[in-house]
A and B are shown apart, each in its own frame.
Chain A
């Protein structure tokens, strides 16, 4: 033998065997089944009889299938939430309370701006309904020379003509201004007809035309009241959009005027505790408990004495007759950093009544991605927040609409804040904005603008559930003294004796200090998932991660390398045969176990036959090779440590 081969043999002997230790895949499988930690496989090998073996194969496969199924279910249900509701009795922060007069501006202050519009409105009312000013209200004496200015006006009716339709002849309409019938082209949109059947003979509406007046849209209403109010509102917004903010604030009510008395938690408060908030449609509103750089007030007792008590002065004589048709104030309870959407969610307060509003606080917390689609602070919503307030769904929708408005119509709608680099719509600059706005709001309501899909709800919100009850105030017997003292209180602001219909009393308080929090929490954690999977594995097969690693090792690494080795040998044989085709010395089949050439190879006879044989010398003695599967033999686990004890036991 060559010295090179000798060294090779020596190395092979001294270094442990690498690679899989079973000669064939079948042996490997058998070895695996006997030695694995999972329970089914061993039975397959150990069982006697074909039927039994088959049954065990079946059971094992079923168990494997069940494990896969159950684990898939576990993983699929991973992102579920569990909801917990907690009720705590504790000291609560008092919410911010925003109070507005329903009428935005003092009519005496805005009359100059609205004089023409008012005059035309009255004119339209007269031509259509025969409404005459004499019979209406006491306000008329304050109006100077009403009919004198009849001549030049009617620019509003020119811009947006009010029309009356007669049922049957859809193409024709009567113009209020001229009284003539004129042809109406374009589509007619019935504001009410989708919801209910209008069988009235007379339908009132107004016509909106874009710049080129070719494509007009007519909006009709079932009642003249709605039509005239909408028509008035359009023009009103147009006029007010051109008035600067300071002037508007001055035209509206001051805090001292609105709030006659104020009492919070047993302590007197006054106008200084309120912050001004100017709302385009409600004028000056005042927010209690929203002062910057001041601690939020809190209540440590429930009940009306410990809440906010205010008496509001609502001067009905200063109301705008066409813009608002109800009297009173509006109040909204909200979070300090939240924008009060008073036009959407306010509670109305009646005059000459004590309105007591008991609150219950509910806090909700949702889990954001990946559990639900909510957003924590709105930073991941692709809509710019034009309000100076914390994110809410409402804010997002309004901001989205305003952005579309600026994009499509080129100007901003008056009742919402201004986005950057935009101005409010008015006739002078944007003659067709009204048509555009109506089209857009139609599309918005029908969810065509995509705002509803872009905006997401906020993850946490506070909600105050209100219980409102009314009582008569002031009572008959206390009316006399109370009104006179209140008049004294108002002193400088007003120069007349207060009437009880000018006043409203409002009490806002926590009914009790129970805070209800609704919290979502993940139903599963990664630990739970693993332990559940572990439970499944253990239940069906007594398997663990170790078994999984075993399976990977045996089925993928070992068996593949065995197959690869087989192929390698075949290739080698084939190559050797091709190199030396006639070789009389060597036996034709090189696979015999007595072949000395094979001695150095890893591929060895089955270990059961070699088990009892003594280790063969390294010298090239023809004979059975030594067993190399030391580690495969169970007792060999101790061979290195326990040589001394093994000798007597084996001998």
Chain B
């Protein structure tokens, strides 16, 4: 109903024609708008008019430009940060403690027996080749050796490097007879390399090392990894250091604690690790006071005598502070504590809270990252997302995809197996190729996103000798008695470590992001600019929009009128096709006594006919806008004038 009415109105208006011309509309707008410039244009004399016109144009373009700047600034999603520092009661960080050696040598000796014998033979071969040649080889297990042997590369002649197996005779093109006296090679001339061969030994690559130390260490680690990968997890845990042997004393604030307060997890690098205050099962413990008296005090025994000799050469306790429920990547972020010392660690919690999309590319819980987090269910504990976990999961995915087995140091995806030489003969070759490829690492960095809440623990570390010489005896005595129920001293300065972990006087520093430019900021600046240059507001924009609509409306009406007149002209043109017939037609409708003037006839199309002729011939309607003209304007003006007087 309404629509119909509206359309009727439109039609009516179309027939009646527009109320204004363009010029009238513009003048009316300029006089009545609330923006400051246009009024001046029409109120002043011609010179000033020009000046004001230029000024208005200038200001309009300035406003448009500035608005562009502001909108672009807003869309760049910048953040501002606020930094706060101080002390407050906070959850004590989770503390992960590992031993540098993953296993007790006494318990893994049976697994590593063959390997160790081989290793000793290798060392002998390297250090004293003449002696070892005699008693070598008969008892050794060469199954392990033949898979990835160590070789000498003699680079005396750079064009033809000679490759020698440590135990067998030479490979390569050269004859072995001439090389026999040269088997004793020393460091600068000879390099030791690891030969890694793919399937069936068809393609081999040599991984060279600048020093023998690295070569034998890497080789041993590779072989040991191979062996441990085949042992079920439960047995590995049993071979590591048990909590009750490692954690001798524990004190948190004034409350005593013991090894049962620690959550054990198995870490492939460091064996059994123990986490204090992890918060996966129980509530996290808060600490409300700064200072060593209110922190965590631990006495640990790392049992250095029982280290696996070839696997780790560094002796110490590895420890790391991390957030509750997050997985400790202790190999990357851990620090060492030395035996025979007391290590004091003051902690400052450095927290960063990012704003999420669209301000930065961070993720809250990792659910929107296209990598499955393999650490999420790490030995039945649910851990939170971190970018380290993501990168490692991504790497393990790559290993599984390329080598068809999972690397021992990372968690297994479901349904996959750890790599070992028996089942996957060329995994070592495949893995080391993958590890060296930079492209692979960079894809993982690109795929993984940072987490929005990032906590770091800044540590201030200081050390002192502990126990002191005078107190050494009784301390060792008491601790031995407690642990082993023996009167003999079973501990030594080489194995004992004391740790104090506590909050510093300022224990937090929080960096919080907030949006630098919000919508209110944008609006107030847009308003400020518009107001500054032209004194305008949103209503002025609406006014402007109204005028634009009117403009369009006038144009439509004009176009319609034009079309109408064109049609009429065409109609007339059809009649006037051959001049004589037109004359006849005219004669038919016209006064018969009237003689048409032949000169006037061709140009008469748009001329208004005399009133007698009008009804029969369709012609341009007479202009009838008079009533619509600017009367209302005049009324307004006189009003304002009355005001002024």
Contact = CB atoms under 8 A, between A and B. Distances in A.
Interface of A: 16-18, 34-35, 37, 46, 82-85, 87-91, 256, 260-263, 266-270, 300-305, 311, 353-354, 356, 358, 360, 467-478, 481-482, 484-486, 488-492, 505, 509, 511-514, 525, 527-528, 530-535, 537-538, 542-547, 549-550, 608, 631, 633-635, 637-638, 641-642, 644-646, 649
Contact of A491 (B23, B80, B186, B638): B186
Nearest to B450: A89
Given A538-B527, A538-B531, A505 B314 contact: yes
Nearest to B530: A534
Contact of A261 (B213, B329, B640): B213
Interface in B485-531: 494, 511, 516, 524-531
Contact of A85 (B83, B214, B442, B530): B83
Contact of B336 (A356, A514, A550): A356
Interface in B37-75: 37, 39-40, 42-47, 55, 59, 66, 69-70
A270 B629 contact: no
A608 B645 contact: yes
Given A475-B315, A491-B186, A544-B36, A301 B391 contact: yes
Given A17-B45, A300-B438, A485-B216, A261 B210 contact: yes
A605 to B, nearest CB: 16
B513 to A, nearest CB: 9
B100 interface: yes
Interface of B: 23-24, 27, 31, 36-37, 39-40, 42-47, 55, 59, 66, 69-70, 78-81, 83, 100-101, 105, 123, 126-127, 186-188, 208-214, 216, 304-305, 307-310, 312-316, 329, 331-333, 335-340, 352, 354, 387-388, 391, 435-436, 438, 441-442, 445, 448, 450, 454, 456, 459, 461, 463, 494, 511, 516, 524-536, 626, 629-631, 633-635, 637-638, 640-641, 643-645
A543 B536 CA distance: 9
Contacts of A544: 36, 531-536
Chain B interface mostly: helix
A104 B445 CA distance: 42
Contact of A634 (B27, B339, B511, B641): B641
A352 to B, nearest CB: 11
10 contacts: A358-B333, A471-B316, A484-B127, A488-B187, A488-B212, A533-B532, A537-B531, A545-B59, A546-B534, A635-B641
B127 A645 contact: no
Contact of B27 (A538, A641, A644): A641
B186 A474 contact: no
B187 A268 contact: no
B336 A84 contact: no
Contact of B535 (A492, A533, A543): A543
A485 B212 contact: yes
B633 to A, nearest CB: 7
A633 B308 CA distance: 106
Given A476-B304, A514-B454, A638-B27, A489 B535 contact: no
B578 to A, nearest CB: 42
A301 B441 contact: yes
- Interface-centre pick from B313, B459, B637 (highest chain A CB count, 10 A): B313
Contacts of A262: 210-211
Contact of A635 (B27, B313, B637): B637
Given A476-B304, A478-B309, A544-B531, A467 B43 contact: no
A485 B187 CA distance: 10
B187 A467 contact: no
A209 B290 CA distance: 55
A489 B185 CA distance: 11
A477 B307 contact: yes
Contacts of A505: 314
Nearest to B459: A467
Contacts of B79: 84
A489 B212 contact: yes
A18 B47 CA distance: 9
A635 B42 CA distance: 11
Given A37-B36, A267-B436, A84 B80 contact: yes
Nearest to B30: A637
Contact of B213 (A311, A358, A527, A528): A311
A554 B626 CA distance: 39
Contacts of A83: 81
Given A37-B36, A472-B338, A302 B332 contact: yes
B525 A472 contact: no
A16 B43 CA distance: 13
B19 to A, nearest CB: 12
Contact of B44 (A477, A512, A631): A631
A268 B633 contact: no
